[in-house]
Amino acid sequence: MTLEEVKQTVRNIPDFPIPGIQFKDLTTAFLNPDALRTMKEAMVALYKDKGITKVVGIESRGLIMAPAVAIELGAGFVPIRKPGKLPGEVIEETYAKEYGTDTIQIHKGALSEDDIVLLHDDLLATGGTMLAAIRLCQKFGVKKIYVNFLTELDGLEGRKVFDPSIEVTSLFHFPDK
Rounded to the nearest angstrom, the gap between the alpha carbon of residue 104 and the centroid of all alpha carbons in its chain is 13
Kind plus residue range of the DSSP H or E element containing 22: strand 22-25
Of these ranges, 11-20, 89-98, 107-116, the one predicted with the greatest mean pLDDT is 107-116
The answer to whether residue 18 is domain-embedded is no
Mean pLDDT of 147-165: 95
The answer to whether residue 90 is domain-embedded is yes
Q: What is the CATH number of the domain that holds 100?
A: 3.40.50.2020
The answer to whether residue 134 is domain-embedded is yes
pTM as predicted: 0.95
51-84 pLDDT per residue, tens: 999 999 999 999 999 999 999 999 999 999 999 9
Question: 61, 81, 93, 159: which one is catalytic?
Answer: 61
For 113, the domain range is: 50-174
Mean pLDDT of 38-58: 98
The answer to whether residue 39 is domain-embedded is no
124-133 pLDDT per residue, tens: 988 999 999 9
What is the domain count for the chain? 1
Is 61 assigned a catalytic role? yes
Question: 41, 59, 72, 98: which one is catalytic?
Answer: 98
The answer to whether residue 23 is domain-embedded is no
pLDDT at residue 98 above 80?
A: no
The answer to whether residue 87 is domain-embedded is yes
The answer to whether residue 154 is domain-embedded is yes
CA 72/CA 104 separation, integer angstroms: 26
Percent of all residues in the chain with a pLDDT value above 90, rounded to a whole number:
89
- In the DSSP assignment, the letter for residue 10 is P
The answer to whether residue 97 is domain-embedded is yes
Kind plus residue range of the DSSP H or E element containing 25: strand 22-25
